Amino acid sequence: MTTNEVANQMVDLWRQGKGELVHETMYAENVKSMEPNANMFPIVMEGLEAVKGKMTAFQSGIEEFHGMTISDPIVAGSFFSLTWKVDATFKGRGRTNFEEICVYQVQDDKIVLEQFFY
């Protein structure tokens, strides 16, 4: 698959509410995840199980989910980026709206890097 195909498939799965399939089918075993700070998660995590665990921890912190918007991807070479907007009530923190820019790298048809800016 091309980077464009990977990007569009990922966005389609999230929009269909099938985000769990993204990690199961589209991420490499050696994926690296980078956050801008260590407020919620370590700045760098490596490996598919660690990244899946991070998503599980994030989701378990949500008391009520109100909505999400994901942009169409912008592709350049082996990278693509998109924006997320999330509206959720988090346990102990109340309702929050946040936006982030996400950058992904694709190698051999799999996502090998995800980096978030918020």
In this structure, the number of other CB atoms found within 10 A of the CB of residue 110 comes to 17
Angle of the 19-26 helix axis to the 48-60 helix axis, nearest 10: 170
pLDDT tens figures, 52-104: 999 888 888 899 999 999 999 999 999 999 999 999 999 988 999 989 999 99
Measured CA to CA, the distance from residue 46 to residue 11 in angstroms comes to: 22
| Contact criterion met (CB below 8 Å) for 114 and 14 | no
| Contact criterion met (CB below 8 Å) for 10 and 79 | no
pLDDT tens figures, 10-61: 999 999 989 889 999 999 999 999 999 877 777 999 999 999 999 888 888 8
Domains in the chain: ranges and CATH: 3-117 (3.10.450.50)
> Rounded to a whole number, what is the distance in angstroms from the first to the last CA of the chain?
29
| Contact criterion met (CB below 8 Å) for 45 and 71 | no
Measured CA to CA, the distance from residue 6 to residue 101 in angstroms comes to: 17
Measured CA to CA, the distance from residue 56 to residue 54 in angstroms comes to: 5
